[in-house]
Structure 1
Amino acid sequence: MSEQKRLSPGDPAPDFTLPDSEGNDVSLSDYRGKSVVVYFYPAAATPGCTKQACDFRDNLAELNDAGFTVLGISPDKQAKLAKFVADEGLTFPLLSDQDREVMKAYGAFGEKVMYGKTVTGVIRSTFVVDPEGVLSHTLYNVRATGHVAKLRKDLKV
């Protein structure tokens, strides 16, 4: 597999501005001074991505109480994200990165192995950005199931 960019704790979080499910622009810089969990997922309304999004939804109060905001990013179009938000009762912003530039900046898009084959796609990844805009956690190739529980443990939430 070809080498792709990976971020590490201590790196500055690449800034971005992306549309949310309602068409509003959301920028990472809007959250400066707060801790932000940014997670990248392959496709809204698929089984694994639904499980992961619902886990974030179900744990959002505890994450928010501990000072963390959650942002989900996928290559889905705004309309698909809006339907996903409505269908699953999601209560945090989902952002559309159709050109995958933000995913590439975070190393969350590239070659991966699926079912024994090397493919190019979204690498399920989670990043925690501290209030100064620096990455405190960089988690690549996470599993959809159980990931939020592990993240809460790592963040002591």
Structure 2
Amino acid sequence: MAVAAAILVVMESTWNGTPTAVENTASVSYAVGAPGPRAEAPDFSLASTAGGTVNLSDYRGESVLLFFHEGIGCQPCWDQIRDLDAAETELQSVGVDQLLTITSGPVDLIAQKMADDKLTAVALADTRLDFSLTYQTNKYGMMGESRNGHSFILVGPTGEIEWRADYDGPPNYTMYVPVDEILTQMQALRTDA
């Protein structure tokens, strides 16, 4: 019953744009910003490190996990991507078809970091934070609102947000979350919703 009440509070918080802390027993807590679960995910068109642009709408019909992160100077963010890359099978087993990473910074520098770290996820550059501001993922970072924090948003096949976790807010700035914990938290809220 407490879990259902917490979910209701989270769901209601997404309508007014106020981040709400999620009560849970996990070792890493998070907030849920807006737009949140049950909201339509705003489309975007961002430069890809593989060349060209990627639109969220390109993935309609698939479940897409968006990972907004701080970027070039945040090695734990790149470690997070490395571990998500390695957990592709586990992501697929919980219904995630595609991982898209999104950060600010020049696309060529992001591409170089992806190559240096031998990362295979689709990496997108939101250089001016245009879409990060739309998703309000810049409200959770250590660098103030000039960078993203550590936010995950699961967009379902119909384009609706199914789950959101903003892990990086004050005062305990979280820069890395174990993949098994992300999957457990995502599944718990998707199942209870």
TM-score normalised per structure 1: 0.84
Residue number in structure 1 paired with 2:58: 30
Residue number in structure 1 paired with 2:29: none
* Richer in strand (by share): 1
Aligned equivalents of 1:78, 1:64: Cα separation in 2:
27
Residue 145 of structure 2 aligns with an amino acid whose one-letter code is T
Is 2:46 the partner of 1:18?
yes
Match of residue 62, structure 1, among 74, 86, 90: 90
Q: Deviations over 1:71-117 (max 9, x none)?
A: 0000021111111111111111000001101101111124x574xxx
Match of residue 128, structure 2, among 77, 84, 99: 99
Deviation at 1:61, TM superposition (A): 2.9
After TM superposition, the structure 1 stretch with the greater mean CA deviation from structure 2, 50-59 or 94-103, is: 50-59
Aligned equivalents of 1:61, 1:87: Cα separation in 2:
23
Residue number in structure 2 paired with 1:120: 145
Residues 88, 45 of structure 1: alpha-carbon distance in 2 compared, 3 angstrom cutoff: farther
* Richer in helix (by share): 2
User: Which protein has greater RCO, CA pairs closer than 8 Å, 6+ apart?
Assistant: 1
After TM superposition, the structure 1 stretch with the greater mean CA deviation from structure 2, 15-24 or 127-136, is: 15-24
Residues 124, 113 of structure 1: alpha-carbon distance in 2 compared, 3 angstrom cutoff: closer
Judge conservation of contact 1:54–1:90 (CA < 8 Å) in 2: yes
Consecutive unaligned residues of structure 2, counting only runs of 5 or more, are 1-17, 20-32, 169-173, 188-193
Residue number in structure 2 paired with 1:51: 79
Deviation at 1:21, TM superposition (A): 0.6
Q: Match of 2:87, SS? A: helix
Deviation at 1:62, TM superposition (A): 2.4
TM-score normalised per structure 2: 0.70
Larger radius of gyration: 2
Aligned equivalents of 1:65, 1:88: Cα separation in 2:
25
Residue 80 of structure 1 aligns with an amino acid whose one-letter code is L
After TM superposition, the structure 1 stretch with the greater mean CA deviation from structure 2, 38-47 or 131-140, is: 38-47
Consecutive unaligned residues of structure 1, counting only runs of 5 or more, are none
Is 2:183 the partner of 1:152?
yes
Q: Deviations over 1:49-85 (max 9, x none)?
A: 1221111111123213544110000002111111111
Judge conservation of contact 2:66–2:101 (CA < 8 Å) in 1: yes
Count of aligned residue pairs for this structure pair: 151
